[in-house]
């Protein structure tokens, strides 16, 4: 039970438990490798007809990748070792996206970054009461990865741009409305749901029997404003629209002011890269999205903002990052384009 990730055959199901509750089930490199190997084995096992993924403990499904470990490698100058994590993680995301059997993520608690990468690409995503989705990477000088270039542009309206630029949390109702989750089930029923899913009744039929109305979440309450204010192709333009709204007499004025302040606290470089991802990803297939992300991460691990962001939020926890460049105007189009340029060594190989 001390293993970081647990695998079990239960009835017709392969059961995966992300087992680092004290670390909010953050996904380590070893977990990435073990999960891929087990999924490949179950794909060829006729006795396993579906895969169920859960997180240990009550606080998190998975709060992301093991960012502290990657920070430590980068600070030590071991960039290639750090890069190998993403070189293995992104093919795992692609494997889940193309998995031939139902892949059911039971998400109760925090699901961020790498945790979304091992859930949102599955065929079925069930949101419990404590569910909290977010892609907060721009707040640590990173970028929305693990396939976000694919799923953010495919959220309704401008919700993807909003998610990428603010890092705000989506609750269970918001998660269903924007497509991060496919079903809403109360947390108290999760044990019985797991039991039912390990049988031979079809996954769709089981989930239909357990599903509840999702309701409306706080993000969706502002969807009309989000669609209107986040439709631009420049971060500066979106901020101008929010600032105008904040000084208006509209019902969304206070929300717009808070939203602008939230965005202004993020890494300027990360913000521009993230918005470019959302706009470009709308026309990419999934493989192109993952290749683009590997190009971006191959550059970001050599940039200062990632290490400064992790220092401020995770290491020193002073929450006072000193971004470089410090303002959006100093992040040129050429600098953004540099992150998407082909790699000298060739693109990431995907399954």
Catalytic residues: 65, 114, 137, 145
Nearest-5° Cα angle at 225, 222 to 226: 80
What is the enclosing helix (H) or strand (E) of 122? none
Instruction: Spell out the residues 6+ positions from residue 37 whose beta carbon is closer than 8 angstroms to its own.
Output: none
Which has the closest alpha carbon to 160: 134, 140, 181, 184?
A: 134
**How many residues in total does the chain contain?**
351
Query: Which residue is it, tokens 């039929």?
Result: 205
What is the enclosing helix (H) or strand (E) of 127? strand 124-127
R_g (Cα) of the chain, nearest Å: 20
What are the distances in angstroms from CA 238 to CA 3, 37, 96, 252? Answer: 45, 43, 34, 15
Which has the closest alpha carbon to 90: 135, 134, 43, 149?
A: 149
How many H helices and E strands in the chain?
A: 16, 10
Please check whether residue 234 is in contact with residue 241, taking contact to mean a CB–CB distance below 8 angstroms: no
In angstroms, rounded to a whole number, what is the distance separating the alpha carbons of residues 138 and 163?
Answer: 10
DSSP string, 205-252: HHHHHH-------TTGGGHHHHHHHS--SSHHHHHHHHHHHHTSSSTT
In angstroms, rounded to a whole number, what is the distance separating the alpha carbons of residues 219 and 132?
Answer: 12
Peptide bond into 325 cis (omega under 30): yes
């Amino acid at each position: 039970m001390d293993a970081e990730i647990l695998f079990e055959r239960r009835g017709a199901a392969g059961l995966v438990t992300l087992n680092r509750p004290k670390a909010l089930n953050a996904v380590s490199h070893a977990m990435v490798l073990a999960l891929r190997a087990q999924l490949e084995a179950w794909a060829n096992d006729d006795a396993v007809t579906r895969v169920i993924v859960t997180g240990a403990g009550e606080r998190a499904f998975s709060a992301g990748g093991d960012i502290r470990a990657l920070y430590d490698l980068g600070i030590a100058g071991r960039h290639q070792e750090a890069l190998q994590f993403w070189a293995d993680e992104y093919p795992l995301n692609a494997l889940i996206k193309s998995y031939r059997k139902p892949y059911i993520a039971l998400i109760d608690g925090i699901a961020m970054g790498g945790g979304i990468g091992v859930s949102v690409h599955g065929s079925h995503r069930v949101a419990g009461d404590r569910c909290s989705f977010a892609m907060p990477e721009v707040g640590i000088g990173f970028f929305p990865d693990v396939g976000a270039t694919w799923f953010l542009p495919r959220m309704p309206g401008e919700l993807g741009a909003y998610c990428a630029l603010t890092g705000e949390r989506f609750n269970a109702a918001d998660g269903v409305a924007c497509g991060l989750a496919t079903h809403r089930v109360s947390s108290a029923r999760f044990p019985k749901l797991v039991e039912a899913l390990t049988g031979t009744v079809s996954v769709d039929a089981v989930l239909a029997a357990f599903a509840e109305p999702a309701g409306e979440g706080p993000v969706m309450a502002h969807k009309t404003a989000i669609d209107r204010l986040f439709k631009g192709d420049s971060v500066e333009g979106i901020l101008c629209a929010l600032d105008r709204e904040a000084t208006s007499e509209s019902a969304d004025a206070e929300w717009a002011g808070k939203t602008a302040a939230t965005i202004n606290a993020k890494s300027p470089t990360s913000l521009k890269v993230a918005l470019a991802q959302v706009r470009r990803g709308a026309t990419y297939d999934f493989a192109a999205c993952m290749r683009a992300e590997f190009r971006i991460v191959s550059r970001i691990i050599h940039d200062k903002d990632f290490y400064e962001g992790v220092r401020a939020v995770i290491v020193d926890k002073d929450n006072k990052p000193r971004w470089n460049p410090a303002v959006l105007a100093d992040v040129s189009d050429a600098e953004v384009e540099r992150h998407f340029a082909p790699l000298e060594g060739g693109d990431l190989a995907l399954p």
